[in-house]
Structure 1
Amino acid sequence: MASAPESSMRLGMAGGVLGFALGGFFDGILLHQILQWHHFLSLVPGEALRDLRMQILADGMFHVAVYLIATLGLLLLWGARRAMAPAGAGGRLLGAALLGFAAWQAVDVVVFHWLVGIHRVRVDVPDPLTWDIGWLVLTGLPPLALGLWLRRRPGPPSPGQSAGGPRGVVAALGLVLLVLGAAPVAALPPAGVTTVLVLFRSGVTPDQAFAAAIAAGGRVAWSDPAAGLLAVDLRDGGSVLDLYRGGALLVGRSAITGGCLGWTRLAV
């Protein structure tokens, strides 16, 4: 049986990983999908990687990675469930989640924006550094400060003075519901949109791509010059599964894309 400090450490790790995943969901949903300020690989040099198909594919893979991190956090939380009983466990869990959220913002800006340089908060402005710093201040410092306060807040004078079980369980359930709610939101297409973007595998010819869209019961509303990326209207009950059978690599409505295809302005 784990000691009290070890159990508390496991709970903190679970909360931190879940908060880190929530930071990724927040970033992807707001910056990639709603505001569309950048793609994950917006600033990567090279004609092949700057291709729109690769940009959208990278956004989808980014969300897949965040789903995996969230799954790891949920597994860690289940493994640390016995640590929710002591008084103050709920506050420590939420504090760890807020620190994880802040950590995501710092890692994203410092590593991906400044060190690796694959994207910035906004890539279409003359001074992207100002936007990077502003984003980090607005979304990183408040959760960092609140998380530290919750983690350092003193508990009861003696272990038997109060019971923390119910509050710890409520905090854990709330965090789980938040993560489980963010994941499907990241995969939803915009409300009322019946058009999906279909990214076809390399080697699928334009004729094959159009034929696959028609065979799936869809109507082609837009195509890139190489027909590797099609906007297909499925309002009449077309089949996403048939699109995959016809050579699609990613379809905008599928959860695997994280919604990045469905939200892109090309689908309008």
Structure 2
Amino acid sequence: MPTDTTHRSSPAPATARNPRAGLPWAGYLLGFALGGFFDGILLHQVLQWHHLLSAVDSAAVRDIRVQILADGLFHAAMYVVAAGGLWLLWRNRRRFAEAGADRLLAANALIGFGVWHILDGVLSHWILGIHRIRMDSANPLLWDLLWFVVFGVAVAAAGWRLRRGGGAGGGGRVAPVALTVAVLVAGPVAALPPPGVTTVMVLFQPGTTATDVFAAVAAVDGRTVWQDPSGQLWAIDLGAGGNPTALYRHGALLVSNTLLPTGCLDWFRT
């Protein structure tokens, strides 16, 4: 009888079955670290909306030197995470020649970036309460939710969509989705009155009478300073303790600072 000279092939090693096994975690870690750097540099240093331990109620922690030290230790931790991602990226550098490797890395970096903001929102803002996005805001939860959705959920979803897209064409649909989310969120953000401003410009709904305006001003303990001929655009002084957000409950369409009518509302003339 003929001899069967064929040999059963041995199982392929894990790296052959999954030739980009090391790339996912490289992307996750780099994106996570970039998310931390993004928040630390923008919110702690440039805008100075908060420090890492801004909401901790302790005389020692409120010392600005302690706050800066905590921010520095936070950035050092992000360097460790980034170093881990770079090490994995270096180990798998030869796999960039494979199709789709760059897309996979970018998608996972977006997911990691979004996961950082989701984790930071849930843990730092709501469970531990060590800081909020805007410590000086009358409504800090609103800013927490905006940051959570825009830089957390939306970015992670964009990365997930890019990862599942399968080729260059799949990722092309991420940009319109991300742009739509940004536009939908930008409107409410633009309508937020500026903090620390006592005199605001208020655009009321069409048909709002002077009596309605005076009632709205009385509801926020303010006083009128100026009005345009149409009777819809008013300058209102809220005083030191006024809450401009309350004007939205009394017919206001837009509340902003005194510079706005010279720009965006310059068209609004009779």
TM-score class, shorter = 0.5 to 0.7
SS at match of 2:21: helix
Measure the CA separation in 1 of the matches of 2:126 and 2:19. Answer: 36
Q: What whole-Å deviation, never above 9, does each CA across 1:105-161 have from its counterpart, x for those lacking one?
A: 1111111111111101011112211100011112123322221122112259xxxxx
2:48 to 24, 36, 51: 36
Q: CA deviation at 1:97?
A: 0.4
Equivalent pair of 1:7/1:80 in contact (CA under 8 Å):
no
Q: What whole-Å deviation, never above 9, does each CA across 1:168-206 have from its counterpart, x for those lacking one?
A: xxxxxxxxxxxxxxxxxxxxxxxxxxxxxxxxxxxxxxx
Measure the CA separation in 2 of the matches of 1:27 and 1:97. Answer: 16
Larger gyration radius, structure 1 or structure 2? 2
1:150 aligns with 2:162: yes
Q: CA deviation at 1:7?
A: 4.0
1:107 aligns with 2:119: yes
Q: Which residue does the alignment assign to 2:186?
A: none
Amino acid at match of 2:59: E
Q: Which residue does the alignment assign to 2:33?
A: 21
Q: Which residue does the alignment assign to 1:53?
A: 65
Amino acid at match of 2:63: D
1:117 aligns with 2:129: yes
User: Within 5 Å, which residues of 2 pair with 1:1-268?
Assistant: 2-155=14-167
Q: What whole-Å deviation, never above 9, does each CA across 1:80-113 have from its counterpart, x for those lacking one?
A: 2233232111111100000000011111111111
Measure the CA separation in 2 of the matches of 1:153 and 1:52. Answer: 47
Q: CA deviation at 1:52?
A: 1.6
User: Higher helix share goes to which structure?
Assistant: 1
Aligned length: 156
Q: Return the TM-score normalized by structure 2.
A: 0.55
Measure the CA separation in 2 of the matches of 1:49 and 1:131. Answer: 24
Amino acid at match of 1:11: L
Q: What RMSD, in angstroms, separates the aligned Cα atoms of the two structures? A: 1.7
Q: Return the TM-score normalized by structure 1.
A: 0.55
Q: CA deviation at 1:73?
A: 0.9
Amino acid at match of 2:71: D
Contiguous gaps of at least 5 residues in structure 1: 157-268
- Give the number of the structure with larger relative contact order, counting CA–CA contacts within 8 Å between residues 6 or more apart: 1
